Amino acid sequence: MNNDSGDEAVWQTALDWLMREHEETLSDADREALHAWLAASSQHCRVFREAEQLWLLTGMVPRSDERR
């Protein structure tokens, strides 16, 4: 069984969270939902961090110490 569609869905969700996190201030409920999604799977956390690093390398996302 090919799991590419599952991987793609995780990447898309990670990117959606990154965009929301950097385009707007997340509410407490949104932040809790993000943390729950990250905690639900080591893959979620890994992919989110990979996506964040990719965005950092392309200059699209400020470093965490520059966000606030």
pLDDT single digits (tens) 13-28? 999 999 898 888 899 9
Distance CA 26, CA 42 (A): 22
Confidence label for 5 from pLDDT (cuts 50, 70 and 90): low
**pTM assigned to the model:** 0.75
Closest CA to 50 of 22, 26, 42: 42
Q: Helices H, strands E: what count in the chain?
A: 3, 0
Counting Cα atoms < 13 Å in the Cβ hemisphere of 17 gives 22
Q: pLDDT tens digit string along 38-54?
A: 999 999 999 999 998 98
Higher pLDDT, 42 or 58: 42
**Token pair in block for residue 56:** 């950092």
